[in-house]
Structure 1
Amino acid sequence: MPSYSFLDRMLHRAALQVVPIAELSFDLDQKSIDKKARDVTNEKHVFVSGLARAGTTILMRRFYATGQYCSLTYRNMPFILAPNLWAKLSGLSAKTIEASERAHGDRILVDVDSPESFDEVFWRIFDGGNYIGKTFLAPHTPDADVIGQFRSYVAAILASDGRPDARYLSKNNNNILRLKAIRQAFPNAVILIPFRNPISHAASLLRQDQNFIEEQEKDSFVRSYMTWLGHHEFGQDHRPFRMMADGAERLKALSRDRIGYWLELWCQTYGWLEEHAPEDAIFVCYEDLCQNPDVWSRLAALSDAGSPDDESNEAFVISDKRGEADAFPELVDRASAIYDRLAGRARRALGL
C-alpha cells in the first residue's frame, strides 16, 4: 500500500469505513453518469479470481498491459465507489508517485496507475453481512438487486475510463465466493481461476501471513486498510474461506504458523471450486502458464485481448520452495490429487 499522510488516512477512514458515506458516494456517482450510456452486460469482461498467491496479480497485469481493459487503480482511492465524481473532484489525474515494490515483497512494482483488487469494497458495503463473518468468509449468493447494482458499478467504472470499447478487468480473490453471481451479471465474461502447486503455494501464504502480521504490529492502519478493502487473506485480521461445514474445525486443528494450515486451506478452497465453479470458468495452471507460452496465447485469444505479443515486461516465474510440507504427508497427497485433476481440466479447456 502507498505511504499515506495523517490527512490521507482520515479521508480513507471516512470513505471506506463509514458505510453511509460510501453508499452516498455510489449514489451520487450513479446520478452523474449518462443513463443512456452503453449497456455493458453482454461484453467480454475478464474476472481473475483464485486463492491469494496463485498468480492472480501477475495474470491480471498481463491482461491490463494489452491496453484492452479498464480496471480500478490507486487513482480511484479512497472513493472507490465513485470513480467519475472522485476523478473530477480530486484532480488525481495530475498525481504521480514513484513506482515501488508492494507490501508483499514479491518484486511487483505499483504506482497510482497500477490496477488493483478494489471492487471488493462494493460487495462489502452493499452485501457484506451475507458473507463476512467475524472469523471467516462464506460462499456468497447476492440477490438480483445487488447483482444489478454491481452491473451498474462496472458501467460507471468503464464510463470513467472514457474509451468506448474498453472492457472491465477485475482481479478479486474473494470473487471465488460468488462466481455464479459474476456469471449472472455478465453472461459473456471470461472467468479465470488460477491455481498453483499446492506446496509452494502454501509456503508463500505462510510467509505472507507472517509478513503482514509484522507490518500490522508496526502500523495498525495497515490492518484497518486491508479490512476496509476486504483483504483477509493474511495478517492479524485473517479470515479464511469457510467452504464446508467442518472446514473451520479442520483449520483449528492446525497451527497457522505451519504450512499444514495453509495446505488445508488450499485443499478446502480448490476442492470446493472444483465442484462449484461455473462450468465455463477456466482454471489456469500457474506452472503451465510459466512454462508453456501457448497458455497465455490461448487465454488472450479466448478473451479477445488482442495480440498475445502485447504483454508487460513481467515474467511468469515458478517458485519451488517446499517449506516443511514433508511433515504433512496426508495433506500433501490430498492437495496433489486435486492439483492433478485441475491441471488436466485446465489443459483440456485450452486444448493443450
Structure 2
Amino acid sequence: MPETMKAVDVKGGKGPVSSLFLNDVPKPSPTGAQALVKVKAFGLNRMDLLQREGHYPVPPGASKILGVEFSGTIDAVGDEPERGFKVGDEVFGLAYGGAYAEYIAVSTHMLVHKPKELSWDQCAGIPETWITAIQAMYLIGKFTPGKTILWHAGASSVSIAGIQLSVADSTSAVYATARQDEKCEFAVKTLGATAAFNATTQDWVSEVKKATDGKGVDIIIDFVGASYFQQNLNAVARDGIIVNLGFMGGTKLPEGIDISAFVLKRCTFVGSSLRSRDEGYQGKLRDQLVEHVLPGFIDGRFKILIDKVLPWQQVQEAHTLMQENRTKGKIICTIE
C-alpha cells in the first residue's frame, strides 16, 4: 500500500466552500530535481477559489490539490536537486499545485531558503504574490524608474507587494484604487502610495487625470477585467501598458466600448498569468525575488502583510474570508 497523507480535497471535484474537507490521499515522492517538503503553512490566492469552483484548470501534470505557495522543511530529494538544497533545509516556494497538504513534491528550482528573520507564516505568503507583482510590473509592464503606475484592488496581496515595489524603485507617482475608504487609506498611509481612489464613490479616471495633469498613467495593473476595460483605456497614458491579471469584473465587454485609444494613444493591453509559465521562466522570477526583494524583507524595507492566520482545519472559513473581500493582506493556513 502506498503511503498516504492528509490534504484538503473538494467533494465531487468542484463546488462551494462547504465542499472543502480534509481527506487521505497518496503521499507524493520526489523525482529528478524535486524535493518533498513537509508543509508548515500555505497561502491562499484567488485562483484557489476559481479552481475549487471548477473555473481554473490546473496545468498539465500538476497536482489537482489546491494551493501554489507554502513554507516547510525538506523531507527528501530526488536524484538531481538544485545545488544548495538538502534534507532538513527550511524553505518556502512556489508550485503548480498541491500546497494544501501535509507534503508537497516541488522543483528545487522554485524553492527559496527561509531566512531566520521571517516566520513560517510570513514565508508562506511571499511566493505567488510577490513573484506575480515582479512579473507584472517589470517583465510585462516594462517599468523603469520615473514612470507612473496604478494598481487596482489596492489592498489585495499582489497590489500590496506591487505598491511597495513601485515606491522602492522610484516611480514618479504610484496610485491605487479600492472599493472602501479604509482600504484607500491603507494603500497611502501603510504602503506609501501617492494617492488612492475609491472606485465605488469616486470617478477614479477623473482623479487619475487630475493627478497626472491630464496625461494618465504609464502602467496599469488590473485584476478586474471587463468592467474596467473602458476606464483603463481612458486612464492610461500615451504609449502606456495595461496589464490584465484577472477578471473579477467579468470577461464580456459591454456594447459601446471605444477602442480608439489603441491607435490614438498607442497603448498596449496585455494579459498574463504566472501558473501557466514553464519552470525555467518561473525559476528566473524566483532568482529576481531572492536578489532584489528578499533583502528588503530581512531589513524591514518591505512588509509581508498578513490579515488572518487559521489552522488548516478551518480552510472553509479561510475561503469565505477571501470570497467576501474582507481582508487587507494574506490569508495563511497552518498545519500542526
TM-score, reference length from structure 2: 0.27
Q: Which one has the bigger helix percentage?
A: 1
User: Structure with the greater relative contact order (CA < 8 A, sep ≥ 6): 1 or 2?
Assistant: 1
User: Which structure's residues are more often strand, by fraction?
Assistant: 2
Q: Give the TM-score of the pair, scaled to structure 1.
A: 0.26
